[in-house]
Amino acid sequence: MSGFLDLFRPSTYGKLPLDDGVEWFVKDWLVPNFRPAFRAIQAPVDALLDSIDGFLQAVPFPIFWLVAAILAWRIAGRGVGILTAVSLLLIDMVGIWEETMTTLAMVITAVAFCAVAGVPLGILAARSDRFAGGLRPVLDIMQTIPTFVYLVPIVMLFGVGMVPGVIATIVFALPPVIRLTNLGIRQVQGEMVEAGYAFGATRRQVLIEIEIPLAMRTIMAGLNQTLMLALSMVVIAALIGAGGLGLTVYTGLGRLDVGRAFLGGFGIVLLAIILDRVTQAMGAPTPAQANGWTFRGVARSLLGGRGQKAEAAAGQ
């Protein structure tokens, strides 16, 4: 009986060389044949990251502090404005201002590329069930695979440094904006879309002037989740040479310096709270906020107020 059961044990048939196959695919085929393509992908990320980081580092603290507090106040209300002012002041007082600006540049760069890639993919997924079905397992893998697993192929394909860290962050933080854009477009009432076509609107006009404005709250929720995931990735990205607050945490961990590691985590927490409150308010503005300072207000001004009319018609 035991001999019969041994036939069903995996070891009976030998080991499946999956690890060897993956190593050959990445190391011996993908890297030698597609390195120029990966360098081309790296170039725009490098250019945007350097520009944002250089700008943030060059702006004097008093100016940045004042402008950030005013913007937070106008977008999210008085409480968030005061919270932003106090948080930024604490960050400067504890001596991690430069690291915070580097982290902010990395997060802005990652979220920008996630938005550029994720929103169109989400719209395509909302348009085609077949495309959405094929995209779903890819997003599942991106969200469930351990974050440290990203680092090995990223280092082999892009090297080490801040740019590979941002690329790893983009891959890790991309799924929420795709999923929620898909969800938001699908939740737009069919009557609104049909009314747009009935009045002679083209498919592009319906998308830009009806579907996107009505789905903006859900899309912004996806961007908010992408932002939070990007912040959670900055510490892990420090393992491959990314700077900022993640490097501060990693340095403190390597030296068993509890205070240093706490400072890095403290800065990340404050930055995350500020960005979370502001982006949430941009997605769901309150009546107390100035309409022109919100994401919807800017979108409405660019669309000539037609997005606002679509929202009003939806409410009726």
What is the pLDDT at residue 291?
A: 44
| CATH class of the domain at 34-315 | mainly alpha
What are the b/e assignments for 221-255, b being 16+ CB within 10 Å?
Answer: bbbbbbbbbbbbbbbbbbbbebbbbbbbbbebeee
pLDDT at 311 over 70: no
Residue-wise pLDDT tens digits, 152-198? 888 888 888 888 889 888 988 999 999 999 999 988 888 888 888 88
Say if residue 297 is exposed, middle or buried (CB neighbours under 10 Å; 0-12, 13-18, 19+): middle
Identify the pLDDT of residue 123.
92
d(CA 236, CA 232): 8
Reported as a pLDDT band with limits 50, 70 and 90, residue 306 is: very low
Task: Tell me the pLDDT of the chain averaged across its residues.
Answer: 82
Does residue 312 register a pLDDT over 60?
no
Residue 275: C-alpha distances to residues 211, 250, 262, 305 (Å): 26, 23, 20, 27
High-pLDDT (> 90) share of the chain, %:
35
Q: pTM here?
A: 0.81
What b/e string do you get for 132-150 counting C-beta neighbours within 10 Å, with b at 16 or more?
Answer: beebeeebeeeeeeebeeb
- How many helices and strands, by DSSP H and E, does the chain display? 17, 0
